[in-house]
Structure 1
Amino acid sequence: MSLVVATAATALLLAGCSDPGAGGGASAAPADWPAQDAKLDGVTLTIWAAQNSNKVPESVVKGFEKLTGATVDVVTIPDPYEQGVQTKVASGDKPDLAFWQPTASMLTALNASTNLQPLDGAPFIDSYKPELQDITGILDDTRYAALVTTPAVEGVYYNKEVFEKAGITELPKNWDEFVELGRTLKTQGVTPFFDFGGGTPWATQWWVQVQLADAARDGLWDRVNANEETFTDATIQGAIDEYQSLIDEGLFNENLKTATFEDQGAALLAGDAAMAVQVNSFFGQLQSLADTDELNQKIGFFPISPSGNVGTFIPDQSNALVAFKTGDATREAAARQLLTYWMGDGYADFVEAQSTPSLQTGVATPAGVPQALLDVSDSLADSVGSMQALAIVNPDLYLNLGDMIQGTKTSSQVAQTTQDQFAQLAKAIGAPGF
């Protein structure tokens, strides 16, 4: 993720140097959306995927190839995925489709109006649950990404057995109750919160962002995007300061500086810690450690915000796909057809194979989906966008917070460094006010 931030402006500048006539500029929606079963003998499509999403299309690819006669190749782009994709696209190398984080900032990083097919008018849009139809994937009033799985939500995963043993019968209803619960657990000898600062501390930022949910709903990121409010002003600085104070209070695991993502899942599942502020990929790790029955018995989820239980959504690259303008009309139409099949006749098999909540009103969620994931999905209806979803660019907040954990930056330095990065990236893309 850090390398994405470092290269986003470069990728945009490189793309800006290309021939504007090469597929360039904003354009209308595709003229047609082929029938799902239209024959595609001799047509080969390429999908780019990350190491954690390259198995996601398996059931769809198998069904689509059988139905249409097409060949679909899923190509894994090594991590860091986003940097690799941006570099390739900036040099003119494009797939037909790719997994991509469907936020405005990351669509901007791909120079969407030049490189991506608009998906407005796609036949599957009306099939989405109403609260999900326009939640993400849109830039400058044009839809460029198709959502295929539930967007990740920042919230609190907790160990039910730890809560029960501690006599906790009600979940926190706001941030203050959440922190007070942590203090109560500590007095009982329980490690309240688990986080990690070793390696790449990407989850640190969730602790700040969930505190910003109310402000985000009130237009925080619009103001930051316009340079009318900064990371050093009271709202964001206060959230960073609060995170530091919780660390200073000893509410986190003792090995906070050296712990890893893998340590976090094992600790929560074993009951060595009570809670972790995390996103959906964390639950994927838990699923690799325990079956659904054990997860339902031990792990719960609740969203949290300053004034209530509001989730903060942050779509990631495994949640959505984009279709590229390749200059080959046949393949471009076939890419649209594959998306139509994925979210059409292939969707029921897809959610069953992935054991994931359904995004559509007409397709039931499989019976084997763990309850925590259902709770995550349910929280989306009332959720608010994260920095990644609503900011025009994404600075290295999590790395700066990692430095704070290691003691090499103060909370004030975290805010100032992040603001400086934000302003630099915003200026690089020509954002007004920078």
Structure 2
Amino acid sequence: MKNFLKATALLAAGLIALSGCSDPGSAPANTAPAAWPDAGTKLDGVNLTIWAAQNSNSVPKSVVTAFEAKTGAKVNVVTIPDPYEQGVQTKIATGDKPDLAFWQPTASMLTAINATTNLQSLDGAPWVEKLKPAVKDITGILDNTRYAALITSPAVEGVYYNKDVFTKAGITETPKNWDDFLAAARTIKKAGTVPFFEMGGDKWATQWWVQVQLADAAKNGLWDKVNQNQEKFTDSTILTAVQNYKGLIDEGLFNPNIKTATFADQADALLSGKAGMAVQVNSFFGQLQAKADTAELNKKIGFFPISPAGNVATVIPDQSNALIAFKTGDSAREAAARQLLSYWMGEGYQDFVSAQKTVSLETDAKDSADVPQALLDAAASLSDSVGSMQSLAVANPDLYLNLADMIQGTKTPQQVTQETQTQFAQLAKAQGAAGF
């Protein structure tokens, strides 16, 4: 997640480079692969390359080992240094392509990599019909063509909370809407604990506070209006969310060290009970899992989605959630890449889920027994979720940087939204979006 956010300011330049200075949406529609090879087809002498980020390079290990043994293929996982997305785009612009790569499967990031020209269509993939309804078509699709294979449950913006802090404050059930959420925070503060913990020093998660407030509006078409330049970040919907965020900070509901606190600090504070809640995504729970086992996490940490009127989750798939397959010009390798995906999401999927201690996306594969309940609850919230800015907007401006500046006291909410809107319009225009 962090890697993607650092790279957003470079998307416009990447789009132009990847599309040969043409409209990235102007390429002819992709056609489905001619065939999906049987997962056990022998591939002696075939070498495949998978590009991965530093936080996803170990994900393929169990699958690659089993696939190599089964087929005779050789699969090399290459780590692209952070910022990952920027590095991938730069390599592809020079003609360097892998066979497969981890990639954020949102429409904006598929556009950024010029999917119609660079990627194989995954339409007709044999595993698609086995995906649970909540995730089958949630992401990975651009202009009605499937380009990404979702392998793990997409990240969700929501609230992780410390159960002991809630009990100490006399809170017996999780909040059912934004007003309940704030009432719980004020109750926790009265009980002597910091209600909310924010990582203003590391910056990248600041925008979750704004985006969860926009969940109901997103369900009603907010980002469609923003994409068509019919609504702006400076208009009341988004501006009010930013103002609300600042108001809660000014009220003293956050950690006193909000300006310097880090991602690691946030995990420590929630796990220890020094703070009651954190608005975060799935990668945050990875920090908690590194510090405590499943039994302790089940005892201490819970999750609930939040939106103004209820409990609508905001989904934001990241690059560790999905794989894309490239058009390399080598038909044998392209077929082998599809075969690896077919194996991964077919007979190899249950072992993958178990090895990753993760949630299954398929109806005939079981969740790992080692998945903490909070992550199961996050996955369950996908059934009533809505896409994030990254998922639904045509471009992704540096909202988080502007919000971090607001936390530091160098920007007002009005300046945050104005600078975000200016950058959004520039990016949208560079992509050829209508109305900009």
Aligned to 1:44: 47
Indicate the SS of the match to 1:392.
coil
Q: State the AA in 2 paired with 1:248.
A: D
- Which residue does 2:149 correspond to in 1? 146
Residues 152, 280 of structure 1: 8 Å contact kept: yes
Superposition deviation, residue 19 in structure 1: 10
Q: Is the 8 A contact 1:12 1:90 kept in 2?
A: no
Report the Cα distance in structure 2 between the residues aligned to 1:381 and 1:140, rounded to whole angstroms. 22
1:334 to 1:427, Cα distance in 2 relative to 1, 3 A:
same
Corresponding residue of 2:34: 31
Other-structure match for 1:375: 377
CA contact (8 A) 2:110 2:142 kept: yes
Match of 1:233 in 2: 235
Whether the aligned pair in 1 keeps the contact of 2:168 and 2:191 (CA below 8 Å) is no
**What number of residue pairs does the alignment pair up?**
430
Instruction: Report what 2:137 is aligned to.
Output: 134
TM-score, with structure 1 as normaliser = 0.98
Q: Which amino acid aligns with 1:405?
A: I
1:431 corresponds to which residue? 433
**Structure 1: which amino acid aligns with 2:175?**
P
Question: C-alpha distance in 1, partners of 2:245/2:261?
Answer: 17
State the distance in 1 between where 2:404 and 2:117 align.
36
What does residue range 185-200 of structure 1 map to in structure 2 within 5 Å?
185-198=188-201, 200=202
User: Could you tell me which of 309, 314, 332 is aligned with 1:312?
Assistant: 314
Are the aligned partners of 2:165 and 2:188 in contact in 1 as well (CA < 8 Å)?
no
Match of 1:286 in 2: 288
Using the alignment, how far apart are the partners of 2:22 and 2:248 within structure 1? Answer: 52
Match of 1:412 among 411, 414, 432: 414
Deviation of 1:18 after TM superposition, in Å, equals: 7.4
Q: Does 1:91 align with 2:94?
A: yes
Match of 2:343 in 1: 341
Question: Structure 2: which amino acid aligns with 1:403?
Answer: D
| Contact in 1 for aligned 2:147/2:324 (Cα 8 Å) | yes
Partner of 2:364: 362
Q: Which amino acid aligns with 2:375?
A: L
> Are the equivalent residues in 1 in contact too, given 2:213–2:308 (CA < 8 A)?
yes
Post-superposition shift, 1:25? 4.0
8 Å Cα contact 1:9-1:425 kept in structure 2: yes
Correspondence for 2:393 among 391, 394, 407: 391
8 Å CA contact 1:2–1:399 kept in 2: the answer is no
* 2:204–2:401 CA contact under 8 A, matched in 1: yes
Residue aligned with 2:200, SS: coil
Task: Give the Cα–Cα distance (whole angstroms) in 1 for the partners of residues 114 and 49 of structure 2.
Answer: 20
Per-residue Cα deviation, 1:240-267 (whole angstroms, up to 9, x for no partner): 0000000000000000000000100011
Q: Distance in 2 between matches of 1:2 and 1:282?
A: 15
Deviation at 1:306, TM superposition (A): 0.4
The residue identity in structure 1 corresponding to 2:142 is L
Q: 1:157-168 alignment to 2 at 5 Å?
A: 157-168=160-171
Alpha-carbon distance in 2 for matches of 1:151, 1:61: 22
Q: Determine helix, strand or coil for the equivalent of 2:85.
A: helix
CA distance in 2, matches of 1:172, 1:19: 48
Distance 1:344 1:310 in 2: 31
Q: Which residue of 2 aligns with 1:330?
A: 332
Distance 1:141 1:103 in 2: 13
C-alpha change, 1:19 and 1:313, in structure 2 (3 Å) is: closer
Deviation string 1:147-200 (CA, Å, 9 cap, x unpaired) is: 0000000000000111112211011100111011111111111100000111x3
Q: Quick one: which of 110, 113, 116 aligns to 1:110?
A: 113
- 1:403/1:195 CA distance change after superposition, 3 Å: same
CA distance in 2, matches of 1:49, 1:2: 17
The one-letter amino acid paired with 1:291 is D
Aligned to 1:260: 262
Amino acid at match of 1:247: I
Where does structure 1 lack aligned partners over 5 or more consecutive residues? none
Percent identical: 70
Q: Is the 8 A contact 1:153 1:311 kept in 2?
A: yes
In structure 2, give the amino acid aligned to 1:210: V
Deviation at 1:4, TM superposition (A): 1.8
| Cα RMSD for the two superposed structures | 1.1
TM-score, scaled to structure 2: 0.97
SS across alignment from 1:289: coil
Which of the residues 281, 299, 302 maps onto 1:300? 302
Specify the SS of the correspondent of 2:12: helix
Q: Which amino acid aligns with 1:354?
A: Q
Instruction: Give, in whole Å, the separation in 2 of the partners of 1:402 and 1:362.
Output: 43
3-state SS in 1 of match to 2:214: helix
How far the C-alpha of 1:3 sits from its partner, in A, is 4.1
Q: Which moved more, 1:341-350 or 1:165-174?
A: 165-174
Q: Kindly tell me: are residues 160 and 2 of structure 1, through their superposed partners in 2, closer, same or farther at Cα, counting changes over 3 Å?
A: closer
Which residue of 11, 17, 23 corresponds with 1:14? 17
| Separation (CA, whole Å) in 2 of partners of 1:338 and 1:404 | 46
CA 1:2–1:130 in 2, change beyond 3 Å: closer, same or farther?
closer
Cα distance, 1:395 vs. partner?
0.3
